[in-house]
Amino acid sequence: MATHRVTLIPGDGTGPELSEATRRVLEAAVRATSGSTFEWDVQEAGLDVMESAGTPLPPGVIDSIRSTGVAIKGPITTPIGTGFRSVNVALRVALDLYACLRPCKLYPGMRSFFPDVDVVVVRENTEDLYVGIEYEHDSPAAEEVIELLNVLQDKKIRRHSGISIKPISRFGSERIVRFAFDYARANGRRRVHCVTKSNIMKYTDGLFLATFREVARDYPDIEPRENLVDATCMGLVQRPTEWDVLVLPNLYGDILSDLTAGMVGGLGVAPGANIGTEAAVFEATHGSAPKYKGQNKVNPTAMILSGALMLKHLGEDAAATHLEEAVAAVLGAGKSVTYDMKPDRNDPTAVGTSQYADAIIEKMEA
């Protein structure tokens, strides 16, 4: 029995209603198992505080997460044309949340073309083409870079090209690969697949793979597999049950985690976490779906399952399993589910966000 201090960021758009449903379900999960409780430090971020605070990410939010070490977050709209960057990206950078964890599991009752999927995507979050070092075509800087590179090697880059830089370091590769192996070991997984295009990008993806091979020696109980990203896409849809934990550089991780989310029923049910050494932030894959704001309509499954990941992270394994089983049972029954989980989206028997949470709580308390 413990009291867990957790930062709760309701977010904006549909975020607050999703967060409220998730908070209630998480409290019920620990109540029904360990008897632990939560001490929520509620922190506002996003569009709703932008006017009063002058920023969508008030400094108190990061201070709170640094102090609690754990946050659960509703989605936050990226303000357009205001000069503010995405709060989601800002949090990842400020807290160095280098690992993006996306488990994709098919529960009964989900709409999918696949009979069985249970894969975990571990995406590197800080390097690769996402560092944002780019040179616009025809800019003086781009022409300078092209000139320099054309001197350094035989292959010539065409003039008037745009350039994006893809840095991958040994440090960044090692910590994400270790994260994937540690996750596999802690969660009873048997294989870790390193997914790259190392046959083409020898010094970036090649370094990632070479690091994977070295790190794998420290985990003799986990089978290391090496896969090319194109073949992985085909393999995932042709033989979904052959895959286990996938570790990937940033870009491939971004793309493949959407592919695997689609295989298990889409954004409404895809949980996630961004994890670093000093903090972990748990959040759904989807955005703030602002057109449904305040309608008690959208599906909180992705955020609730993100909450189940958080329970595991907090050492509340029994509560996490209990919650996941209750979610699976309610989805499987197909009765008290939100509109997007019904075969027909206009089905009048669909329930609201809050009533779906009630059904999960009822199942846990039965």
Catalytic residues: 130, 197, 230, 254
Closer of 240 and 271 to ligand NAD (Cβ): 271
Closer of 4 and 102 to ligand NAD (Cβ): 102
Binning the chain into helix, strand and coil, the percentages to the nearest 5 are: 45, 15, 40
- The site map against ligand NAD for 144-163 (x = CB under 6 A) is --------------------
Residue nearest ligand NAD, CB atom distance = 287
- The site map against ligand NAD for 329-358 (x = CB under 6 A) is -----------x------------------
Closer of 36 and 301 to ligand NAD (Cβ): 301
Containing 252, the helix (H) or strand (E) segment is helix 250-263
What CA–CA distance (Å, rounded) separates 303 from 312?
A: 14
Closer of 213 and 345 to ligand NAD (Cβ): 345
Q: How far is the CB of 45 from ligand NAD (least distance, A)?
A: 10
What CA–CA distance (Å, rounded) separates 142 from 161?
A: 8
- The site map against ligand NAD for 273-302 (x = CB under 6 A) is ----------x--xxxx-x------xx--x
For 318, phi and psi rounded to 5 degrees?
Answer: -65, -40
Q: How far is the CB of 350 from ligand NAD (least distance, A)?
A: 11
Closer of 143 and 340 to ligand NAD (Cβ): 340
Asked if 172 is part of the footprint of ligand NAD (rule: CB under 6 A), the reply reads: no
Q: Given the structure tokens 């206009």, which residue do they identify?
A: 346
The Cβ of residue 360 has, within 10 Å, a number of other Cβ atoms equal to 26
Q: How far is the CB of 88 from ligand NAD (least distance, A)?
A: 4
Report whether 195 contacts 246 (CB < 8 A).
Answer: yes
Q: How far is the CB of 216 from ligand NAD (least distance, A)?
A: 31
Closer of 44 and 283 to ligand NAD (Cβ): 283
What CA–CA distance (Å, rounded) separates 195 from 84?
A: 33
Report whether 252 contacts 195 (CB < 8 A).
Answer: yes
The Cβ of residue 77 has, within 10 Å, a number of other Cβ atoms equal to 22
Measured CA to CA in angstroms, residue 90 lies from 19, 85, 127, 143, 176 at distances of: 20, 7, 15, 30, 20
Bridge partners (DSSP) of residue 281 are: 71, 274
Which of residues 201, 228, 267, 318 is near ligand NAD by CB under 6 A?
267
For 206-215, give one letter per residue: b (16+ CB within 10 A) or e.
bbbbebbeeb
Q: Round to the nearest angstrom and report the end-to-end CA distance of the chain.
A: 21
The Cβ of residue 200 has, within 10 Å, a number of other Cβ atoms equal to 11
Kindly determine how many residues on this chain lie close enough to bind ligand NAD according to the rule CB under 6 A. Answer: 17
- The site map against ligand NAD for 47-86 (x = CB under 6 A) is ----------------------------xxxx--------
Which residues are at the interface with ligand NAD (CB under 6 A)?
Answer: 75-78, 88, 267-268, 283, 286-289, 291, 298-299, 302, 340
